[in-house]
A = this chain, B = another copy of it.
């Protein structure tokens, strides 16, 4: 366990904090598709991501869903942080984008560390900051851009997060994550293909020009 944490967080946290994390943290593996946090749930442990990627989703009151952003190695979700500290319900859903690994930290420790470790404070604030940026970026996407651009950004992000040019998913799945409909996505993807940007296959999409 030690090497894993040192590997990911060694550059960020001071030695004493790393040791604390090793001693109180619990490693948990997850698989693609696992729902790590759901809307309306209370969270009692906070995850620090070591391997894999997690997607953060927002849900409409009755049906719609929307991908907000991804979280990668070395990150945490400050919204979860908010929940923990304030003992509030989660506003978002976190779903594993692929297989991965987290260290779970009990809530109590987090607050304690806020007072004791400067590097933890910095981490928490920097985490808040990047989450704000990502939310704003999500807002820019849906407020200022058309579906074709949003779709293209989506493909690009997926490709980056999974570190591959071949995105394995269905049009329906994309439609869910962009809160659109399958037919619209198929239509736009077809247009991209005609423009030579992608190649469409069954159950996967190949990015040509990145």
Residues of B within 8 A of A136 (CB): 58, 91-92, 135
- A121 on the B face (CB < 8 A): yes
Knowing A139-B135, A143-B58, say if A126 contacts B64 (CB, 8 Å). Answer: no
Q: How far is the CA of A55 from the CA of B143 in the complex (A)?
A: 17
Q: When the two chains form their complex, are residues A121 and B114 in contact, meaning their CB atoms are under 8 A apart?
A: yes
Q: How far is the CA of A139 from the CA of B140 in the complex (A)?
A: 10
- A125 on the B face (CB < 8 A): yes
Interface secondary structure of A, over-half rule? helix
Q: Select the stretch in A22-30, A78-86, A156-164, A167-175 that faces chain B.
A: A78-86
The residue that A86 contacts in the complex, of B129, B139, B179, with Cβ under 8 A, is B129
Knowing A82-B129, A125-B82, A132-B91, say if A60 contacts B140 (CB, 8 Å). Answer: yes
Q: When the two chains form their complex, are residues A126 and B86 in contact, meaning their CB atoms are under 8 A apart?
A: yes
Protomer copies: 2
For the complex formed, measure the closest distance between the CB of A136 and the CB atoms of chain B, giving whole angstroms.
5
The residue that A139 contacts in the complex, of B68, B114, B126, B144, with Cβ under 8 A, is B68
**Which partner residue on chain B sits nearest A137 by CB separation?**
B91
- A138 on the B face (CB < 8 A): yes
Within 8 A of B (CB), among A109-149: 114-115, 121, 125-126, 128-129, 131-133, 135-136, 138-140, 142-144
Q: Which 3 interchain pairs have the tightest Cβ spacing?
A: A60-B144, A82-B129, A135-B135
Question: Which A residues have a C-beta under 8 Å from some C-beta of B?
Answer: 58, 60-61, 64, 66, 68, 78-79, 82, 85-86, 88, 91-92, 114-115, 121, 125-126, 128-129, 131-133, 135-136, 138-140, 142-144, 179
